[in-house]
Amino acid sequence: MATEESPQVTRRATRSYSASNTAIESTNPPESYKPTINDLGFRQQPLRLEDLFSSFPGRRSQILELLRLLGPLNSPMFPILVYGGPSTGKTSVTLQVFRHLNRPFIYSSCITCYSPRILFESILNQLFHRKDSGHSYSSLKRCERPSDFVNYLREALENVITNLKGNSGKVSSKMSGRPDGTMVYLVFDNLECVRDWDKSSTILPFLFNLNDILKMPEVGLIFISNTSPDTYYLNIGYAEPIPLYFPDYTEDDLRHIFMANQTNSRLYASFLDVVLRPFCRVTRQVDELAAAFSSLFKKYSEPLSDKEVAPNEEMKRRLFSHIRPHIASALNETFQVRSQPLLKAETNQETKKTNSSRMPGVREDFDKIDFHMSTSAKYLLISAFLASRNPATLDASLFDSTGVSDSHKRKRKASEKSMDQKEMAEQELLMKGPGTFPLERLLAIFQCITSLAEDSLDEEESHELTVEGGSRGLMSDVLLQLSSLCNANFIIKGGSCPLEGSTRYRTAVSEDLALKVARSLKFPLSKYLYRR
């Protein structure tokens, strides 16, 4: 067969690149890392079975089933699909099982390899043990189509397997750190992301049929997925992989998991007694609970001067009454990641907190938005919110040139029919969501609002002379601000209307956030909101 050389890619050299290149060429080029076959195994201390069980509480039966399906050394296997909810330990259990068994495997995740080409090339790079010394980031072989992938994969796997077979005849692998056996396992993680790819209708059947296409008994396939097997809708027949289910953790398992590695286990156990049950009603995922518990535990152990003490009953009751008001509020913000300045502000305001124990949805003292926005961006956001909320016909009356907004309607006695209509209209508004608006309308509202702000500024600082520079400063980079707001997903850019041909925008912020932004600018947003 003809030798296949990867084509030499000529690169345009920028000035800085060639400048640094000359510096490098004078010294010896650094030895690029040459991966060998030992890299295919898990290169850490091998794990005993008991350690495997103890590091994954509640997963004993799944680990045993996985071990049984993988089978003894050099035994061929059918493809396996490991599925279960997020953060249930599927990936970690699989990888640790391979560490325990010390067998060679190739791991690729469909989140980092977000297109077929990257997926194929990542697998081939791991198998080929060679990297171009010049371009250490590019792949060895360019591979876009499944047909090329299968050919290269077969070649690479045959290489690897003959290598492994050669090694297995020599010294026992435990001493030399080499992986065991002559089988190679391919692990595909996060398979549910493949469903959203463009080419998913060909790639998914290809992956599931890979076992049959390769026809190599020395290769084992393991798929890991967040969703159950029936979400992979395929209309060609394929041999279904053997399913292995990881159920969500029960409350007892969660307790074991959180108790591990705690310095003061009795204190933490009493903490868990209080918080675990209510939080489990909201979510049972370990990562979300861990985030909530870490901050709550700090609050729980605040009154204790000595953090190492084991609490007795009376102390437990005291701590419970201390933490009780915080649990309800913590439940309502289970998933927020707080920024640093606000955490500090919170600790300063501890003494001022007066909450009753069960007030759901209590408005916290987070009146401030916890990210930085420039003033013009804030005004732009408010104008976008108003443009989406109010119908266009109301703009003239709301934004008078004199800046006076007068939305008093003559109050009439509401008849029943109009109440029904109001309800229907409200429901329609809920379903439709925020409306779209063209760019010109947004800029017009922005102009009105900022001129209002100018006027109010004028009133406050009437003795200041330099005022006109202000309005020009606000208008200068509006389009740039608009595109950054679109990138931050505050405003969504929709498709262009076929009749008019201009792009329409839609706001994507909730009313809470808009009110917060308006409050930070001291802008009376509620006066301008259209309420039916």
Partner 1 sequence: MGREKEKEKPSEKALNLLRSRLSDPNFIFRPLSDSPDSNYSKLKFIISTSVTEACNNSILLLGPHGSGKVAVLELVLSDLLQQYPEAISVIRLNGLLHSDDNCALKEIARQLCMEHQLLFSKVASFDDNSQFMIAMLRECGLAHKTIIFVLDEFDFFAQGKQRLLYSLLDAMQSVNSQAVVIGVSCRLDVDQLLEKRVRSRFSHRKLLFLSPSKEDTERFMEHILSLPMDSSLPHNYAAEFNGRLKKILSDERFKELIDTYLSFNFTIGHLVRFLFQAVSYMDLNAGFLSLGNLKTALSSNQRQLKLESIRDCSVLELYMMVCMKRLEVKEQTSYNFYSVMTEYKSIHDSFQTSDYYAANVCLRAFEHLLQCQLISFIDNKGHNQSVEFRPVKLLISSAELHQGLKSYQQCPAILLKLMDR
Site for partner 1 in 333-362 (CB under 8 A): 333-336, 360-361
Which of 46, 85, 325, 470 lies at the binding interface for partner 1 (CB under 8 A)? Answer: 85
Site for partner 1 in 394-423 (CB under 8 A): none
Least distance CB 54 / partner 1 (angstroms): 22
Size of the site for partner 1 (CB under 8 A): 74
Q: Is 113 left (phi over 0), alpha (psi -120 to 50) or beta?
A: beta
H-state helical runs in 390-477: 395-398, 416-432, 439-460, 468-475
Residue 431 as a binder of partner 1 (CB under 8 A): the answer is yes
Give the residue, chosen from 118, 274, 331, 439, that forms a contact with partner 1 under the rule CB under 8 A: 331
With respect to partner 1, which residue has the nearer C-beta, 493 or 519?
Answer: 493
Q: Which is nearer to partner 1, 56 or 523 (CB)?
A: 56
- The answer for residues whose C-beta is within 8 angstroms of residue 42's C-beta and 6 or more apart is 95, 98, 99, 102, 105, 179
485 DSSP 8-state letter: H
Tokens of 159: 């290489």
Min. distance of Cβ 83 from partner 1 in angstroms? Answer: 9
* Closest distance of CB 424 from partner 1, Å: 12
Stretch that binds partner 1, among 1-9, 110-118, 406-414, 465-473 (CB under 8 A): 1-9
Q: Least Å distance between CB 147 and partner 1? A: 4
Please, which residues bridge with residue 219 across strands? 184
Scan residues 286-315 and list those touching partner 1 (CB under 8 A). 288
User: Radius of gyration of the chain from Cα atoms?
Assistant: 31
Q: What sign does the CA torsion over 129, 130, 135, 141 have? A: negative
Question: How many Cβ atoms from other residues are within 10 Å of residue 63's Cβ?
Answer: 19
Q: How far is the CB of 23 from partner 1 (least distance, A)?
A: 37
Please pick, from the candidates 303, 433, 473, 524, the single residue that binds partner 1 as defined by CB under 8 A.
Answer: 433
**CA trace torsion 85, 91, 97, 102 (10° rounding):** 170
Closer residue to partner 1 (CB): 66 or 448: 66
**Of 169, 469, 498, 501, which lies in the binding site for partner 1, with binding defined by CB under 8 A?**
169
Q: Candidates 100-108, 178-186, 491-499, 519-527 — which segment interacts with partner 1 by CB under 8 A?
A: 491-499
In the sheet with 436-438, reading across from the earlier edge strand, the strands are 436-438, 503-507, 491-496
Q: How far is the CB of 271 from partner 1 (least distance, A)?
A: 20
CB of 68 to partner 1, least distance (A): 5
User: Is residue 202 a contact point for partner 1 (CB under 8 A)?
Assistant: yes
- Binding of residue 492 to partner 1 (CB under 8 A): yes
434 to 473: interface string for partner 1, x by CB under 8 A: x---------------------------------------
Q: Which helix (H) or strand (E) holds 107?
A: strand 105-109
Cβ neighbours of residue 266 closer than 8 Å, sequence gap 6 or more = 310, 311
Determine contact, residues 169/28, Cβ cutoff 8 Å. no
Stretch that binds partner 1, among 40-48, 80-88, 255-263, 402-410 (CB under 8 A): 80-88
Q: What is the 3-state secondary structure (H, E, C) of 24-51?
A: HHHCCCCCCCCCCHHHHCCCCCCCCHHH
Q: Using CB under 8 A, which of 147, 265, 374, 421 touches partner 1?
A: 147
Give the position of tokens 């729980």: 300
Give least dist CB 208 to partner 1, A. 10
4 near partner 1, judged by CB under 8 A:
yes
Closest approach of partner 1 to the CB of residue 142, in Å: 11
User: Which window, 127-135, 282-290, 380-388, 522-530, contacts partner 1 (CB under 8 A)?
Assistant: 282-290
Q: Which one of the spans 11-19, 349-357, 462-470, 488-496 is the region binding partner 1 (CB under 8 A)?
A: 488-496
Question: Shortest Cβ distance from residue 450 to partner 1 (Å)?
Answer: 26
Tokens of 367: 């009146």
Binder to partner 1 among 166, 177, 243, 303 (CB under 8 A)?
243
Q: Which residues of 147-171 are buried (b: 16+ CB within 10 A; e: fewer)?
A: eebbebbebbbeebbebbeebbeee
Length of the chain: 532
Task: Output phi, psi for 187, to 5 deg.
Answer: -110, 120
Nearer to partner 1, 405 or 484 (CB): 484
Q: Which is nearer to partner 1, 81 or 382 (CB)?
A: 81
Return phi, psi of residue 444, to 5°: -65, -45
What CA–CA distance (Å, rounded) separates 501 from 356? Answer: 55
Q: How far apart are the first and last CA of the chain?
A: 77
Q: 55 to 74, contacts with partner 1 by CB under 8 A?
A: 65, 68-69, 71-72, 74
**Least distance to partner 1 from the beta carbon of 161, Å?**
15
| Residue closer to partner 1 (CB basis): 163 or 336 | 336
Encoding tokens for residue 347? 């600790």
Query: Which residue among 35, 37, 55, 77 contacts partner 1 (CB under 8 A)?
Result: 77
What is the rounded CA–CA span in Å between residue 100 and residue 55? Answer: 12
Alpha helix segments (H runs only) across 233-336: 251-259, 265-280, 286-300, 313-331
Q: Which is nearer to partner 1, 361 or 469 (CB)?
A: 361
The burial of 292, by beta-carbon neighbours within 10 Å (0-12 exposed, 13-18 middle, 19 or more buried), is given as: buried
